[in-house]
Amino acid sequence: MERGELLYSGKAKSIYRTSDKRQLLMEFRDDTSAFDGRKTEALSRKGKVNNYFNAFIMESLEDAGINTHFDSLVGDTQSLVKNLDMIPVECVVRNITTGSICRRLGVEENIELETPTFEFFLKNDELHDPMINEYHIRSFGWAEDEEIKKMTAYTLKTNAILSPLFRKAGIILVDFKLEFGRFNGDIVLGDEFTPDGCRLWDSETREKLDKDRFRQNLGDVVESYEIAASRLGVSIPD
Ligand code: ADP
Ligand code: UDP
C-alpha cells in the first residue's frame, strides 16, 4: 500500500492518505505523552508493540460483532484503517475507580463498581478534555441521538467482551477510552485500543501494565505493555 500525504500528526500517531480515499495508513510512533502533552518522551519499541496490540484487540472486537476501522497490519508500526469522519468525543468506561473520577467526585481509589460507569469527554487538549453529557453533544451538533446511543452501547459492549479476555490473561481491565467515527452512514470504532488508552492491572499483584507507568514515572513502560501483550497471546516480532 502506497503511503500518501501526511494528513495529521497527533501526540502518538500519524495518519497518512493512501491511493484509496476510503482508507488511511495509521502509524504508531514511539512518542508518548501525558497530562495533555506537558510530559513527553520517545519510548523505543512502543510504536511496534502498540501496533500489534491494537490489531489483536480490534480483531477480537470485530469477531465479537463490533464494527471497527481496522483492516490489516501493513508493517511493524503501521496499519491500514477505514477513513472515518471522527466524532470529537471520548467514551470512557470504568470498572474500578482511579484517575480523574477520584479527583472529580472525591471518591476513594480502588472501589469495584457495582456496574460499569460510562462518561463522555470533549476531545480538546487546550480545555483539558472536559467532561460533557449527551445533551452537550446533541446541542452543539457533535453527534446525533442515534449516534450517541450507538457509541454508548458499543463502548459498554466492548467492556463486556474485553473484561473476560483480559481476566483469562490474569489482567484486570480497570478503565479505557474509545473514539468513534462515521463510515457509510454507520458508527465505527476508530483510533486505538492499547495500554496507552486503558488501565491494566495484574490480577494478583495489581502491578500496573499501562500508561500510568509513564505518568507516574514507574519505569519499564514498554516492557510492561509487552507483558500484557504476551499474556494475551499477541505475538510481536523482535
Ligand atoms: P491526538 O490527536 O489526541 O494527539 P493521536 O496521536 O492518537 O491523538 O492521533 C490520532 C488521530 O487520528 C486522532 O485525532 C484520532 O481522532 C484520529 N483518528 C483515529 N482513527 C481514525 C480514522 N480511522 N480515521 C480518521 N481519523 C482517525
Ligand atoms: N484516557 C485516554 N486519553 C485521554 C484521557 C483518558 O486514553 O485523553 C484513558 C486513560 O488512559 C484511562 C481512561 O481513559 O484508561 C480514564 O482516564 P481518566 O479520566 O481517569 O484520566 P486521567 O487519570 O488519565 O487524567
Q: How much is the pLDDT for 2?
A: 77
Ordered by where they begin, the domains of the chain are 6-82 (3.30.200.20), 87-220 (3.30.470.20)
Is a pLDDT exceeding 80 seen at residue 90?
yes
Q: Which string of DSSP letters, residue by residue, matches the chain?
A: -----EEEE-SSEEEEE-SSTTEEEEEE-SEEEETTTTEEEE-TTHHHHHHHHHHHHHHHHHHTT--BSEEEE-SSSEEEEE--EE-SEEEEEEEE--THHHHHH-PPTT-EEEEEEEEEEE--GGGT--EE-HHHHHHTTSS-HHHHHHHHHHHHHHHHHHHHHHHHTTEEEEEEEE-EEEETTEEEE-S--STTSEEEEETTT--B-STHHHHTT-S-HHHHHHHHHHHHT-----
CA of 63 from ligand 2 middle (Å) equals 26
Name the closest ligand to CA 188.
1
Q: Is 100 in the pocket of ligand 2 (CB under 6 A)?
A: yes
Q: pTM (2 decimals)?
A: 0.98
User: What's the whole-number average pLDDT of the chain?
Assistant: 97
